[in-house]
Amino acid sequence: MSETTVSRRGMLKTGVAAGAGVALPTIFTASSAAAYTNEPTGSTVTLGFNVPQTGPYADEGADELRAYELAVEHLNGGGDGGMMGTFSSKALQGNGILGKKVEFVTGDTQTKSDAARASAKSMIEKDGAVMITGGSSSGVAIAVQGLCQEAGVIFMAGLTHSNDTTGKDKKANGFRHFFNGYMSGAALAPVLKSLYGDDRKAYHLTADYTWGWTQQESIAAATEALGWETVNNVLTPLAATDFSSYIAPVLNSGADVLVLNHYGGNMVNSLTNAVQFGLREKEVNGKNFEIVVPLFSRLMARGAGENIKNIVGSTNWHWSLQDEGSKAFVKSFGTKYGFPPSQAAHTVYCQTLLYADACERAGTFNPCGVAEALEGFEFDGLGNGPTLYRAEDHQCFKDVLVVKGKENPTSEFDLLEVVEVTPAAQVTYEPDHPMFAGGNLGECNPGA
């Protein structure tokens, strides 16, 4: 039988040490030896992939996760290298990042801001993630971007289309490769003019949250500049499933175009309802009634089925593009998984490569060094043509695709066809544009 004696001094020492440890939230502290949050010290570096694995965008999340895994494989020298071979920057060697093997952890955002913040926090605090990336919702992206800014890690946004992500809610530690509502409007307007003329009356149905508001504002501004009149804008609840009562009054409004500022299940249901009500077969003001879906996604197009045929919208990327980067990515992804990648998969793959490349060029994982390497970075070969990561707002400026639902698809993936590739110059705006005003990038936070 052993006897343990506890001295008063020893008790005090232990208590003080434990108290200090508990009192300080680890997310906002770094060890005195570390220069920044989660500085990798071993032979590996950990990235945090925060995607919706449950909830309404789980399919997008699953596709994003596939692309992340593919990117990690390529960064570590596996597979065929994908777009690393076509990327204009040649800093990546297939030996991990800065010689450290890339590992990853995943979190489930559930497409809820609080759940997304909790999973990102856990990946930073418990798993030591040095960078967080992902998301299939602007609300989630903005929430996680704010957390990463406070925590001192880089956030590479996934699928987020709201102007606010790199507008009023932009952060120095956050970067977006995906396009935004303004760019959709700027790309769509000339195509809409050539297809439907400049004398149209538009009726907007808009999802009632940050993405819907900013997209509606962008599309209305772009089409009004053409000479179109915005007859009405009705906000619809995000939880709505049946849009018939919102769509039925459209025909009596005098409008001859319906703009659906909806995404995901909302888009599938509102478009289906609009087609059921025969809007596309009607003639109003002596013109054929038209429907526009400004943000398209192939995964959503599949949900809408035949209703998507000939509907015009915009997208960040499409697997049918024939540039070398897109072909390499489609081959790599398609060979591994058996189907072509979505735009969500493409943007997160690019973001992972761009982050790794920035680390290599900066020679550090320090968020401030990485941010400096990304700011003003010009690159090519990642499927969107020459691209600029603008320093002022951390938004990528690149070509935008205008697409429409294919009349005669040859397969379940062949749902959209590219109508026009709108050059980057046409969708570029000033950093202080009113639709993006009100925010402040602030200072980079390394977290130490």
Partner 1 sequence: MDAILLQILNGLDKGSAYALIALGLTLIFGTLGVVNFAHGALFMIGAFCAVTLNKILTLSREIVDETRTDFLGNPLKVKVPYVEGWFGPELGAAIIDWSVPLAILFAIPVMIAIGYVMERGLIKHFYKRPHADQILVTFGLAIVLQEVIKYFYGANPIPTGAPDAFRGSFDFGVLLGFDPNVIIYPYWRLVYFVFAAIVIGAVFAFLQFTTFGMVVRAGMADRETVGLLGINIDRRFTIMFGIAAAVAGLAGVMYTPINSPNYHMGMDFLVLSFVVVVVGGMGSLPGAVAAGFLLGVLESFASYSPIKNFFETYLFLPSIDQIIIYLVAIIILLTRPRGLMGRKGVMED
Query: Can you give the binding site for partner 1, defined by CB under 8 A?
Result: 54-59, 208, 232, 234-235, 237, 239, 241-242, 244-246, 248-249, 251-252, 265, 268-269, 272-273, 276-278, 281-282, 284, 299-300, 302-307, 319-320, 330-331, 334-335, 339-340, 410-411, 413-414
The CA angle 16-19-22, to the nearest 5 degrees, is 150
Please state the φ and ψ torsions of residue 396, each to the nearest 5 degrees. -80, 135
**Judged by CB, which is closer to partner 1: 52, or 369?**
52
Would you state the structure tokens that stand for residue 422, as one six-digit string? 């709108």
Quote the least distance from Cβ 325 to partner 1, whole Å: 16
- Asked if residues 36 and 367 have their Cβ atoms less than 8 Å apart, the reply is yes
| Residue placing its CB nearer to partner 1 in the complex, 67 or 124 | 67
Backbone phi, then psi, for 52, in 5-degree steps?
Answer: -75, 110
Closest CB to partner 1 among 105 and 284? 284
Name the minimum Å distance from CB 324 to partner 1: 14
Nearer to partner 1, 99 or 249 (CB): 249
> In a 3-state reduction of DSSP, which class is residue 407?
coil
Please name which of 1, 114, 29, 71 lies closest in space to residue 355, comparing C-alpha atoms.
71
> Strands 287-288, 174-176: parallel, antiparallel or unpaired by DSSP?
unpaired
- C-alpha span between 385 and 424 (Å, rounded): 9
Asked whether the beta carbons of 254 and 200 are under 8 A apart, the reply is no
Q: Are strands 290-295 and 257-261 parallel, antiparallel or unpaired?
A: parallel
Residue 29: CB minimum distance to partner 1, A? 38
- In angstroms, give the least distance from the CB of 339 to partner 1: 8
Q: Which is nearer to partner 1, 176 or 200 (CB)?
A: 200
- The least CB distance from residue 24 to partner 1, in Å, is 37
Shortest distance, position 239 Cβ to partner 1, whole Å? 7
Strand locations in 138-271 (E): 154-157, 174-176, 201-207, 229-236, 257-261
Smaller CB separation from partner 1, 95 or 244: 244
Q: Specify the residue, 195 or 240, whose C-beta has the smaller distance to partner 1.
A: 240
Question: What is the DSSP annotation of 408-431?
Answer: S-SSTT--EEEEEEE-HHHH---T
DSSP string computed for 256-295: SEEEEE--THHHHHHHHHHHHTTGGG-EETTEE-EEEEEE
Please tell me the distance from the alpha carbon of residue 368 to that of residue 252, in angstroms, as a whole number.
55
Q: How near is the Cβ of 120 to partner 1 at its closest, in Å?
A: 21
CB of 309 to partner 1, least distance (A): 12
Residue (10 or 254) nearer to partner 1, CB: 254
Instruction: Retrieve residue 361's tokens.
Output: 């060029």
Our measurement of the distance from residue 82's CA atom to the centroid of its chain's CA atoms, rounded to an integer in Å, reads 20
Residue closer to partner 1 (CB basis): 12 or 248: 248
Question: If you write DSSP's letter for every residue of 167-186 in order, what string do you get?
Answer: TTT--TTEEE-S--HHHHHH
Measured CA to CA in angstroms, residue 233 lies from 197, 207, 212 at distances of 21, 10, 11
What is the smallest separation between the CB atom of 281 and partner 1, expressed in angstroms?
A: 7
**93 vs 241, which CB is nearer to partner 1?**
241
Q: How far is the CB of 303 from partner 1 (least distance, A)?
A: 4
Q: How far is the CB of 104 from partner 1 (least distance, A)?
A: 22
Whichever of 329 and 429 has its CB closer to partner 1, that residue is: 329
Amino acid at 435: M
- Here the tokens at position 10 are 């020893």
Give the SS3 label for residue 56.
coil
Nearest to 155 by CA among 418, 406, 448, 441: 441
